[in-house]
Amino acid sequence: MPLAQAHMKRTRRGAKGYRLRQLARLLEAGLYIALFFIFVYYLASYITGSGRYAVRNILVYGEGAVTTEDVRAVARLDSRDNLLFLDREAVARRVAALPYVAGAEVQREFPNTIVITISERKAVATLIAGRRAFLLDREGHVLRETEPSAEPIGPLITNVPELGVVTPGDRLAQPALQEALALWDAFGPAPIAREVNVSEISAESPVHLTMFLEEVPFAIRWGRSDYTMQAERLSVLWREKAGQLPCVEYLDLRFDEDLVCR
């Protein structure tokens, strides 16, 4: 046999052997991978079926207006859920959807306990929308509907334009309403707030807010500006006059240093 033909024959046998060895390595690797997934499958089946890590206890911290039962209901957890495979973020989102809940954190305590910690929104004012009343927090989140005849929390906020349908869980962003809440937030720390009771804030527009106090027969007009400064000036005037302001119809604070009393 010529040398060239013998060399080509040996080369073909070598290439064939190399391909067979490569195929054997691939089959071996595939076998190991298959065995690994079979192991993981049976391990997961054992863990899930054994019940050792099944959710059996749900602890809730931080509740007040929101009850433990409220949180457990929306968390939608039971013994069919497994701590190892639990989507904690999904549970936290479901709990945070409650109107009173500002945020929720979900933690696992092995082997079978879920701990849910919530932070709550606080009602600071009562919105009147048509013939219905709703509790609001300081950012304008609608917490719940309340009876119009019930004792209000904070002042009544009335006459807000373009409200539309109000539903618990909404955040109301109407400029006039947001200004009324900002006014109430700034008024609270002022010295006068300890001596008077604010019954109502009429929010007709962002630049025309009217406050009514139980202690005086006249209204107080506010505009979009520095409410903290306006409240301080009103406190000084209230102290100087010992609460006996000579106004009959209104006191207008909207003109900076010029207080208009009529």
pLDDT tens figures, 73-110: 999 999 999 999 999 999 999 999 999 999 999 999 99
C-beta contacts of 78-86 below 8 A and 24+ residues apart: 79/51, 79/54, 79/55, 80/54, 81/54, 81/55, 82/47, 82/48, 82/53, 82/54, 82/55, 83/53, 83/54, 83/55, 83/108, 83/110, 83/111, 83/112, 83/114, 84/47, 84/53, 85/48, 86/55, 86/114
Quick one: pLDDT at residue 63?
84
Among 11-15, 73-77, 223-227, where is mean pLDDT lowest?
A: 11-15
Is 221 within 8 Å of 251 (Cβ atoms)? yes
The whole-angstrom separation of Cα 20 and Cα 60 is: 62
Quick one: pLDDT at residue 44?
59
Place 14 in a pLDDT band, splitting at 50, 70 and 90.
Answer: low
pLDDT tens figures, 53-83: 999 999 999 989 999 999 999 999 999 999 9
Quick one: pLDDT at residue 145?
97
Quick one: pLDDT at residue 118?
97
